[in-house]
Amino acid sequence: MKITKPLNLALLAVAGLTFACGGGEKSTETTAETAAPAAAPAQEVSLEDKYKDNPIYIKGIEKVKGSDCTSCHMVDRKIVGPSYAEVAAKYESTEENITMLAQKVIAGGVGVWGEVPMPAHPGLSEEDAKDMVAYVLLLKK
């Protein structure tokens, strides 16, 4: 008892001191650490980067850029029409869906995403429209 009591006090004092300095340093360290992973999801790989080597992507984006699609559609933000990422989330990339959506791009249509119509693209061949749609349906998040 006689020995342990002052020892405990000494230990407490030491612990207090190390806590005071060590603790202070540590909190700045942890904020720096937590800031890094928190910022990471914001810089997640863009859909463009994720698929840029995929042949469906390469063929499709070329045709989409050669047409007027980009004036109404963006990859991950809705403008006049739904974003490609939204369209890809709604439809599975099956032959059936690609054909159906290619027909819609050629004929135009309205009512699936809202009241704004997509104009017809009568000059597009079915093959080109399918390549474009296959590219769009690739762009899942």
Question: What is the distance between the alpha carbons of residues 61 and 67, in angstroms, rounded to a whole number?
Answer: 10
CB of residue 85 to ligand HEC, shortest distance in Å: 12
Residue 21 known to bind ligand: no
Q: At what angle do helices 126-138 and 95-107 cross, to 10 degrees?
A: 120
Looking at 3-11, 39-47, 50-58, 117-125, which segment touches ligand HEC (CB under 6 A)? Answer: 117-125
Residue nearer to ligand HEC on the CB measure, 111 or 122: 111
- Return d(Cα 25, Cα 20) in angstroms, integer: 9
**Where in 58-77 is the site for ligand HEC (CB under 6 A)?**
64, 67-69, 71-73
Least spacing, CB of residue 113 vs ligand HEC, in Å:
3
State the Cα–Cα distance between residues 107 and 101, nearest whole angstrom.
10
> What is the total residue count of the chain?
141
* Binding residue count for ligand HEC, defined by CB under 6 A: 28
> Do the annotations mark residue 72 as ligand-binding?
no
Which segments are annotated as binding site for heme c?
69, 73, 118
Chain residues binding ligand HEC by CB under 6 A are 64, 67-69, 71-73, 80-82, 87, 101, 104-105, 109-114, 116-119, 121, 132-133, 136
